[in-house]
């Protein structure tokens, strides 16, 4: 766990940050560690942007699109691939690169600091299998370039492709600058106006600073604080507070996915405060997770720091914790379809489905606890608390045809599982 996104996810989904009656979120006791034995994917109304527009090129952006500039897609196996796809408000344009795979083969990519998409058509077969690094298996009968797979920033492959007795034609797509999602944008980085159905309340991005604040009006429900940074050396920490309280350290280095789409990154969640109150959220860089002193800006002149506030968050309460009802993952939007919960000593078993799903596994342990998750042939994922506490394993892939098994293998407490189905 050596990126800011990994540690932010751990803190955001696993810390106990509760707003008290005096408008403050008490300090989080961060005792949670997540060990995920598979590849993690991050994925991506008129909110009140209080104090969000700052000097420079920052703007409150409405959607910008130039459809006439979309390139023509390549011709693959006699079919014209689309020139562009949309994913979570962003456009991905055809690169002109394509590949034909007979039976089995591999797809590799050059390194990139932004995500990419692949789409496909099938000939001589009704089904193909794409195995992403991790491994993460996608089996599909979709053809004629009617769907896509999301390839995260930094991923170079290989993606293994299999189509028994047939041929797969693949086209590749890269992030386009033609389209800017609605929201708050500065120098090409956007906090989107809506992420997973939750609205942006305030945002700010600044260069050359190590201490950044913005304000928002409480919406009458929980809020997510999503921080972003670039070019932060190893060993430093990004900290968050609300109205000067609730210090949470999200240590670690910066991450390319969070820079591309910071609103979709990991978060620190604060419980609801009475609606209509003005809150100040602050993010600052310190030299360690134990140090609350801001680093002088002159020591980190190239750092970019950002804050986004989203809310109110619609949560599902299960297993002694709460997780979002709607999530974004794999370049798509997913919503809650099935929920189960139990206590230590019990195993939760959910049946297979004919479609891919995502999962989250929340828990509340009264002692040191370990929760395990498996889906089909997946190697599995594990969440662990170093002491009593609450948390959740997130972004768990459940391939079509895979039953799910969840168990609290160590400790005492409650746990659950939430299965999500794709809605876009």
pLDDT tens column, 322-369: 999 999 999 999 999 999 999 998 999 999 999 999 999 999 999 888
| pTM score of the predicted model | 0.80
Query: What confidence score (pLDDT) does residue 145 get?
Result: 98
Structure tokens at 242: 């609300």
Contacts of 375 (CB under 8 A, 6+ apart): 359, 396, 397, 398, 399, 402, 403, 404, 405
Is 384 in contact with 331 (CB distance < 8 Å)? no
Query: What confidence score (pLDDT) does residue 133 get?
Result: 83
Which of 32-41, 200-209, 266-275 is predicted least confidently? 32-41
Domain at 315-422: CATH code: 2.60.120.340
Q: Where are the alpha helices (DSSP H) in 171-295?
A: 256-260
Q: What is the DSSP letter of 252?
A: S
Query: What confidence score (pLDDT) does residue 290 get?
Result: 81
Kindly state the average pLDDT of the residues 182-195. Answer: 93
Can you tell me whether residue 10 is helix, strand or coil? helix
Query: What confidence score (pLDDT) does residue 410 get?
Result: 87
Flag whether pLDDT at 1 surpasses 90: no
Query: What confidence score (pLDDT) does residue 376 get?
Result: 78
Identify the band that residue 277 occupies on the pLDDT scale cut at 50, 70 and 90: very high
Contacts of 298 (CB under 8 A, 6+ apart): none
Is 161 in contact with 128 (CB distance < 8 Å)? yes
Question: H or E segment at 406?
Answer: strand 404-410
Flag whether pLDDT at 56 surpasses 70: no
Asked if the bond preceding 361 is cis, omega within 30° of 0, the reply is: no
Q: Where are the alpha helices (DSSP H) in 235-325?
A: 256-260
Report phi then psi at 197, rounded to 5.
Answer: 80, 0
pLDDT tens column, 386-414: 557 888 888 899 988 999 999 998 889 99
Domain ranges within the chain, ordered by starting residue? 4-30+46-62+181-310, 67-175, 315-422
Query: Do the first three CATH levels of 67-175 and 315-422 match, i.e. the same topology?
Result: yes
Angstrom distance (rounded) from CA 231 to CA 345: 45
pLDDT > 90 fraction of the chain, expressed in percent and rounded: 54
Flag whether pLDDT at 29 surpasses 80: no
Query: What confidence score (pLDDT) does residue 252 get?
Result: 44
Flag whether pLDDT at 67 surpasses 70: no
Query: What confidence score (pLDDT) does residue 333 get?
Result: 95
Angstrom distance (rounded) from CA 305 to CA 262: 11
Residue 179 CB-density burial (10 A; 0-12 exposed, 13-18 middle, 19+ buried): buried
Classified by CATH at the fold level, domain 67-175 comes out as Jelly Rolls (2.60.120)
Kindly state the average pLDDT of the residues 227-255. Answer: 76
- What mean pLDDT value characterizes the chain? 81
């Amino acid at each position: 766990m050596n990126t800011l996104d990994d540690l932010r996810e751990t803190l955001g989904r696993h810390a106990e940050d509760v707003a008290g009656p005096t408008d403050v979120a008490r300090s989080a006791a961060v005792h949670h560690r997540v060990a995920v034995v598979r590849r993690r994917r991050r994925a991506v109304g008129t909110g009140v942007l209080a104090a969000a527009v700052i000097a420079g090129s920052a703007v409150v952006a409405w959607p910008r699109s130039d459809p006439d500039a979309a390139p023509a897609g390549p011709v693959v196996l006699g079919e014209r691939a689309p020139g562009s796809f949309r994913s979570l408000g962003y456009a991905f344009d055809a690169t002109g690169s394509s590949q034909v795979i007979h039976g089995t083969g591999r797809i590799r990519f050059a390194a990139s600091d932004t995500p990419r998409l692949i789409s496909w058509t099938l000939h001589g077969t009704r089904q193909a299998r794409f195995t992403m690094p991790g491994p993460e298996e996608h089996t599909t009968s979709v053809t004629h370039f009617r769907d896509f797979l999301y390839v995260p920033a930094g991923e170079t492959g290989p993606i293994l492709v299999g189509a028994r007795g047939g041929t797969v034609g693949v086209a590749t797509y890269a992030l386009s600058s033609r389209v800017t999602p609605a929201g708050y944008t500065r120098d090409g980085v956007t906090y989107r106006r809506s992420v997973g159905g939750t609205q942006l309340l305030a945002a700010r991005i600044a260069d050359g600073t190590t201490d950044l604040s913005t304000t928002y009006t409480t919406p009458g429900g929980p809020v997510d604080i999503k921080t972003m940074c670039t070019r932060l050396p190893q060993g430093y920490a990004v900290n968050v507070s609300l109205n000067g309280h609730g210090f949470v350290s999200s240590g670690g280095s910066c991450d390319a996915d969070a820079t591309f789409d910071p609103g979709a990154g990991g978060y620190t969640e604060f419980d609801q405060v009475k609606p209509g109150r003005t809150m100040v959220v602050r993010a600052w860089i310190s030299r360690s997770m134990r140090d609350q002193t801001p680093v002088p800006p002159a020591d980190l002149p190239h750092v970019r720091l950002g804050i986004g506030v989203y809310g109110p968050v619609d949560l599902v309460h299960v297993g002694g914790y709460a997780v979002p009802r709607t999530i974004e993952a794999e370049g798509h939007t997913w919503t809650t379809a099935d929920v189960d919960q139990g206590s230590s000593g019990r195993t939760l078993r959910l049946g297979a489905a004919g479609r891919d799903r995502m999962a989250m596994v929340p828990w509340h342990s009264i002692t040191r606890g370990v929760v395990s998750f498996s889906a089909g042939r997946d190697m599995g994922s594990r969440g662990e608390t170093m002491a009593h506490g609450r948390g959740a394993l997130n972004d768990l892939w459940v391939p079509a045809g895979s039953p799910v098994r969840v168990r609290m293998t160590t400790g005492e407490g409650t746990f659950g599982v939430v299965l999500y189905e794709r809605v876009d």
